[in-house]
Each structure stands twice: as structure tokens, then as C-alpha cells.
Amino acid sequence: MTPRLLTIPISHYCEKARWALDRAGIAFAEERHLQVIHIWKAWRAGGGRTVPVLVTDGAILTDSTAILEWVNGRMPPGERLYPDAVASEVRRIEEWLDTGLGPDGRLWMYHETLPTIEDLGPWANAGVPDWERRAFQAAGRVLDPVIRRYLGVDENAAATALRDIDRVFDAIAGMLADGRPYLTGERFTAADLTFAALSAPVTVPAGYGLELPPLDALPRAMADEVERLRAHPAGVFATRLYAEQRR
Ligand SMILES: N[C@@H](CCC(=O)N[C@@H](CS)C(=O)NCC(=O)O)C(=O)O
């Protein structure tokens, strides 16, 4: 059976899983759904309330890290995402980014985009069923308060998230300061993949698993921050990872 990957297509955690599967050359069928509808779909597939969920012959994987570990076990030793020599360091960095940069980037991105979310429909809705696309257009205004309340999005939280993102970017730049090409040394690992994917809300990279809006389609204040963070050494690193490693 071809594994099924349930996603919110634009979600950065879903991109993390999709990138790993693509990298390993594992065929999968992506089933794309919109926010809120994903809860029902994830639950029906045997998952929790978040996506990505990967449904395979032998297991239902309900978290992006579990999906990367599953993919890792199917890769030749020389290409693994958690190379033995640095595996514990890679897992530590991944967990740190999953629990910090991931939620912070998403919160900040929603704060910036919710006021004009309908304008982003062509990108946010790519590949979801038609009825979901129509519901999104109809519900645009309603989504704003629902998502704000659900994720605790407000001005203060967004400012704090952006400050924390800056700290993560500085820490990533610090790890690379000795000239190493990747976070744990000479090899691309799950730590690098996780950083590049989870920084997407603030770098809006070319090469993402689906087309993202150009900067001039984003609210001006958001585009300015994206340009600032793209120019940060960690943003330059994320852009390079997409250019060189997202095949
Ligand atoms: N730790 C989870 C986080 C996944 C996650 O937060 N997914 C988001 C999409 S970006 C989601 O499904 N959010 C909806 C919800 O929390 O109900 C993972 O790594 O897979």
C-alpha cells in the first residue's frame, strides 16, 4: 500500500515530513485539507488532532518527528537523517526547534496574515478538495477570531514570538560560526531539514513543497520582517538548504 500523508498543505510541520519522504524517494499520496477540517480527517485516519499523519501498512505515525524516524529507517546508512555519530545531537536540536521555532513562526505568521487571509487562498488552498476551498472563501472572516483564540494569537504574543525567533536565528548562526556546512558538522541531517522547514513562515523560501506567495502578495509589515530574516546568517543558511537539499 502506498503510504498516505495527511496534511494542511501549507503547514511547515507537514513540509518537514513531506521533505523527508521526498528525500528518501518514498512514494506517498498526499491528502490535503484545510485547517479545522484536518482535525476530523486526522482523527478518522487514526491520528490525534494535528497533521502531518502518515498512514502506512504497519503503523499510523501522528507526528512529524515519528515520520522522520520512520523514513530514516528506510534510508541507506550513508544518507540517514540521524547519522549514528551525531544522532543524539540531531534529536536534541530537532526537539528544540519543534517546540520553539515551530509554534512561534506559525503564531507570528497567523498574526500577520489573518487580516487579509482570503487573499492568500490561491496558495494556502492548493490541492484541497473544492468544497473545502469554497468553505475557506466563505469563512475567511470567521477564521480570524477562531484561529486567534485557538492559537492564542494577539499583538503581544506575536511580538514575543518574533523575539524568540530572532534568538533561535542567532543561536543557529552561532552553531555555524566555525564554518561548518551543517548544524552538526559535515552532513545534512534531520536538524538541518527541521530548521529549514520550520523557519518557512519567516523566510517564505523558494523550493518549498508547494508554491508560496511572492513577498508582494504578503502584508507589507510581514514582507519587511521576512526580508530582514532572510538576510540574517541563519536565513541565508535556510535558503541554501532549500536550494541545495530540497530535491
Ligand atoms: N508536534 C507535531 C506538531 C504538528 C502541528 O502542530 N501541526 C499543526 C499544523 S502546522 C496542526 O495540525 N495544528 C492544528 C491543531 O493543533 O489542531 C508534529 O511535529 O507533527
Domain boundaries, the chain: 4-79, 84-245
pLDDT at 35: 85
Place of cell 517564505: 204
Nearest to 161 by CA among 191, 124, 216, 198: 198
pLDDT at 9: 96
CB of 51 within 6 A of ligand 1: the answer is yes
Cβ neighbours of residue 138 closer than 8 Å, sequence gap 6 or more: none
Question: Which residues sit opposite 4 in a β-bridge?
Answer: 29, 55
Task: Say how many Å lie between the CA of residue 29 and the centre of ligand 1.
Answer: 19
Task: Say how many Å lie between the CA of residue 130 and the centre of ligand 1.
Answer: 23
> How far apart are alpha carbons 195 and 30 in whole angstroms?
22
CB of 47 within 6 A of ligand 1: the answer is no
CB of 56 within 6 A of ligand 1: the answer is no
pLDDT at 139: 79
**Across 27-185, where does the E strand assignment appear?**
29-32, 53-55, 60-61
Task: Say how many Å lie between the CA of residue 238 and the centre of ligand 1.
Answer: 21
Atom of ligand 1 nearest to the CA of 62: 20
Q: Which CATH fold would you assign to the domain 4-79?
A: Glutaredoxin (3.40.30)
Q: Which residues of the chain have pLDDT under 50?
A: none
pLDDT at 240: 98
CB of 8 within 6 A of ligand 1: the answer is yes
Place of cell 523560501: 205
Q: How many CB atoms lie within 10 A of CB 103?
A: 16
CB of 62 within 6 A of ligand 1: the answer is no
Pocket test for ligand 1, best of 5, 21, 50, 151 (most atoms within 8 A of CB): 50
- The helix-helix angle for 220-231 and 233-245 (nearest 10°) equals 80
pLDDT at 47: 86
Q: Residues 113, 222: contact at Cβ < 8 Å?
A: yes
CB of 203 within 6 A of ligand 1: the answer is no
pLDDT at 137: 79
Q: Report the nearest-CA residue for atom 5 of ligand 1.
A: 50
The CATH number that domain 84-245 falls under is 1.20.1050.10
pLDDT at 13: 98
Atom of ligand 1 nearest to the CA of 38: 12
Task: Say how many Å lie between the CA of residue 102 and the centre of ligand 1.
Answer: 9
Nearest to 24 by CA among 92, 90, 91, 70: 70
